[in-house]
Amino acid sequence: MIELIFVHIPRCGGTTFSILLRSLYQDAILGDSDDQPLDPERPFQKNFAAWKKEQDQLPAPPGIRAIHGHFWAGKYDHQAPNATRVTWIRDPIKRLVSHYYFWKSIPEMPHTLHKLMHQRNLSLLEFAQLPQMQNVMRNVFLRDRSLENFAFVGIQEHFADDLAWLERYMKWPKKKMPNYNRATHKDYQQNGLDSETEKQLRALNQADLELYEAALQLRGRRAPPRLWFWKR
């Protein structure tokens, strides 16, 4: 039975977290990034209704207790309605900048927008103006789901503290985790935006900014794990 689902939003600390999950679940975890939900040429973007209908007809993968990957939060609603759902989010502007420079550092990927970015040598602002790159957290990975659909929403900027909370909540053994998959492009500076560029990026990502503020408020109201009995 699937007991945990991790929705991995790109550039939010999810690679480090996925490595932890793999160490915990071993052979009983499935990595799923088949949909490439940011790619406009994939079924998820081209015909969401048809994609969802097909997905809902699939059986649960046998022998799997946990699933992680880049997919929509509702993907496994039919196969695992009672699973504990977790995700990590990040300041939307820092997430976007990290995403841009991470892709810049990779010469080839089987992704339409990645190819477009390299072929046209898109600037950060041009990249941010692509429709699929606006409000990525709210519009793509959460879509019609809310933060309340998750038992846990971690904040990348508070990764160590939030992970410690989740380990206590899930009764996992505490592990020291290095930071994997950092953006390494030579021009990457997550705090190096000029004020006008930042203003434009914020205007393009208002829904994600509101989501991030809501997540911070949820974090502020989070009960200590020993007092938290309910799991969605």
Q: Please tell me whether residue 191 adopts helix, strand or coil conformation.
A: coil
Segment (H or E) for 85: strand 84-89
User: What is the rounded distance in angstroms from the CA atom of residue 17 to the CA atom of residue 8?
Assistant: 9
pLDDT of residue 226: 55
User: What is the rounded distance in angstroms from the CA atom of residue 69 to the CA atom of residue 46?
Assistant: 20
**Exposed, middle or buried, 109 (CB in 10 Å: 0-12/13-18/19+)?**
middle
Mean pLDDT of the chain: 92
pLDDT of residue 176: 75
pLDDT average, residue stretch 156-162? 95
What tens digit of pLDDT does each residue of 60-117 get?
Answer: 999 999 999 999 999 999 999 999 999 999 999 999 999 999 999 999 999 999 999 9
Could you tell me which of 166, 142, 2, 151 has the C-alpha nearest to residue 76?
Answer: 2
pLDDT of residue 227: 44
Question: Is the confidence at residue 205, as pLDDT, over 90?
Answer: yes
Q: Which residue has the tokens 């990290």?
A: 98
Question: Is the confidence at residue 179, as pLDDT, over 70?
Answer: no
Binning pLDDT at 50, 70 and 90, where does residue 2 land?
very high
Q: Which residue has the tokens 């995403």?
A: 99
Binning pLDDT at 50, 70 and 90, where does residue 30 land?
very high
pLDDT average, residue stretch 137-159? 96
Question: Is the confidence at residue 178, as pLDDT, over 80?
Answer: no
Segment (H or E) for 29: strand 29-31
What tens digit of pLDDT does each residue of 46-64 get?
Answer: 999 999 999 999 999 999 9
Q: 91 or 181: which carries more pLDDT confidence?
A: 91
Domains of the chain by range and CATH?
4-227 (3.40.50)
Task: Please state the pTM of the whole predicted model.
Answer: 0.91
Q: 174 or 141: which carries more pLDDT confidence?
A: 141
